[in-house]
Amino acid sequence: MGIFSSNKPSLPSRVRALSEAADLAEGRSDDDVVAGAQRVVRQVDRRLAFSGEVTVVALAGATGSGKSSAFNAVSGTTLAEPGVTRPTTAKAMAASWGAEPPSELLDWLEIPRRHTVTGGADDLEGLVLLDLPDHDSTELAHRAEVDRLVQLVDMFIWVVDPQKYADAALHDRYLKPLVAHSGVMMVVLNQVDTLSETELERCLTDLRRLLDSEGLKKAQVLAISAKTGRGVDTLRKKLSRSIADKQTAARRLSGDVDAAAAALSVEVGSAETRGLGDARLKQLHKALGEAAGVPVVTEAVLKAMRRRGAAATGWPALSWLTKLRPDPLRRLHLDQFSSRSKKQNQLEPARVQRSSLPSGTGVQKARVDSALRALADDASQGLPRGWSAAVLQASRREERLLADDLDRAVATTDLAMERGQGYWKLVQMLQWLLIAVVLVGLLWLGANFALGYFQLPRLPDAYSYRGITLPTMMVFGG
């Protein structure tokens, strides 16, 4: 459509970014600022849906500034009724140039009084000129209509007179708040036919100085006389260039997006994303571990390992007595989860159950809460208050499920209790080997005793040392 600025990312992409930022800021930043950003997103989307060939220009001014006379002078019509004969309606009037009036656009602007200018020059084709109610009217509805349309039009022409061009109501209520749109703003000094050239030069200089001091350096200043026609052709030429440029609507919408983004950025802040510090994470892990009963599990694992080690490496004839002692892990219901699939190194879900670990004490819960708060404070450092509160709230969102999650984490942890230690097998083999040696020695001695009793030749002693035979060595050595 030719209405996008080439100096920045495309307007639609910036609008999408603003929409995403506003959605994320909802409930975390000032409601009015977020609502303003969302309104701008809707407004820009709606305006871009209409033809970019049409430029909407609003003529606004105070009572007696000659705004309606200027409207008639530019349009070459007598549509606007100036002075005391102005209608009392609170609605604006539109004059459009072109073969067909932009009805959908005017419907969106809610302009009921519409006129199509025919027979004029082609240089204004594509222009929609609005004659707004007086912005200083005593009628509240008139001022409300001006406020509404100021948010929607593509370009502003503020008509002032030599007596009230510095009126605080105009500058404070409209010009200063629209500083982001000074590039699509024109301030027209009307009724210059009542001034001498010296007075005119002084008024224009003072008006320019006043606008510059308010940050409106890009706003154009023009002197006209709707009564004599002085400067009207210049005004028409400026409007013609704005229409031909096809960038007026884009600049206006871009200003809206910039203003909304600037207001939202104050609420969001400019702090960089911080990583979670190792010290804070260790503090949280320690607090969670204590709340989950990890020290109890650690002690139980140590006792259970000693019990099972004693059963595995003790004297086989008596080591079975060790199994009669209670298993510390069984009391905690942590003895049924270490069965593993041979193909998949995963716990069997069907065997996971709640443990019998004691619930965390008040002190342990307070330490967890303190660690979470410290971690959230670190993560949100530099963020505005609303966002800091959101980070803290997010960190505690599942707090009611924390006890169950911690218990489940412990209950599904493989303690590797069934794997034992490698040296246990060696000790067991040595135990049984020694038992075999003792048995062989006993059998050997028993056989010799029996043979001696029946006065039969004894089995030969394969080896003896200082009178101690090999079978005896095997029995006592084993």
Q: Is residue 42 part of a domain?
A: no
Mark whether 235 and 339 lie in a shared domain. no
Total structural domains in the chain?
3
Q: Which domain holds residue 432?
A: 422-477
Distance CA 477, CA 368 (A): 59
* CB contact at 8 A, 401 and 441: no
DSSP 115-148: EEE-SS-GGGTTEEEEEPPPTT-S-HHHHHHHHH
Residue in the structure block whose two tokens are 């800091």: 388
pLDDT at 1: 34
**Region 5-11 average pLDDT:** 65
Q: Is residue 45 part of a domain?
A: no
Mark whether 177 and 69 lie in a shared domain. yes
277-304 burial: b if 16+ Cβ within 10 Å, else e: eeebeebbeebbbbbbbbebbeebbeeb
Mark whether 208 and 104 lie in a shared domain. yes
Q: pLDDT (tens digit, 9 = 90+) per residue, 355-394?
A: 667 676 777 778 888 888 888 877 777 777 777 777 887 8
Mark whether 293 and 368 lie in a shared domain. yes
pLDDT at 7: 53
Q: Is residue 7 part of a domain?
A: no
Mark whether 447 and 387 lie in a shared domain. no
Structure tokens at 6: 């080439």
Mark whether 94 and 222 lie in a shared domain. yes
Q: How confident is the model at residue 348 (pLDDT cuts 50, 70, 90)?
A: very low
Q: Is residue 263 part of a domain?
A: no
* CB contact at 8 A, 288 and 42: no
DSSP 168-195: HHHIIIIIGGGGGGGGGEEEEE--GGGS
Residue in the structure block whose two tokens are 């459509």: 1
pLDDT at 118: 81
Q: Report the percentage of the chain scoring pLDDT > 90.
A: 27
Mark whether 215 and 353 lie in a shared domain. no
Start-end of H helices in 294-359: 294-313, 316-319, 328-331
**Region 15-35 average pLDDT:** 88
* CB contact at 8 A, 131 and 65: no
Mark whether 383 and 345 lie in a shared domain. yes
Look at residues 223, 245, 267 and tell me which one is the last residue of a structural domain: 245
* CB contact at 8 A, 134 and 62: yes
Q: How confident is the model at residue 3 (pLDDT cuts 50, 70, 90)?
A: very low
Q: pLDDT (tens digit, 9 = 90+) per residue, 98-150?
A: 878 889 999 999 999 889 888 766 788 889 999 999 888 888 889 999 999 99
Q: Is residue 12 part of a domain?
A: no
Mark whether 298 and 403 lie in a shared domain. yes
The total number of residues written for the chain in this structure: 478
Question: What H or E segment, with its residue span, contains residue 88?
Answer: none
Distances (CA, A) of 443 to 111, 126, 399: 120, 121, 70
Mark whether 204 and 305 lie in a shared domain. no
pLDDT of 341 over the 90 cut: no
Which of residues 295 and 18 earns the better pLDDT score? 18
Distance CA 158, CA 184 (A): 11
pLDDT at 347: 44
Q: pLDDT (tens digit, 9 = 90+) per residue, 203-253?
A: 999 999 999 999 999 999 999 999 999 999 999 999 999 888 788 888 899
* CB contact at 8 A, 63 and 134: yes
Residue in the structure block whose two tokens are 């003792």: 438
pTM, to two decimals: 0.62
Q: Is residue 257 part of a domain?
A: no
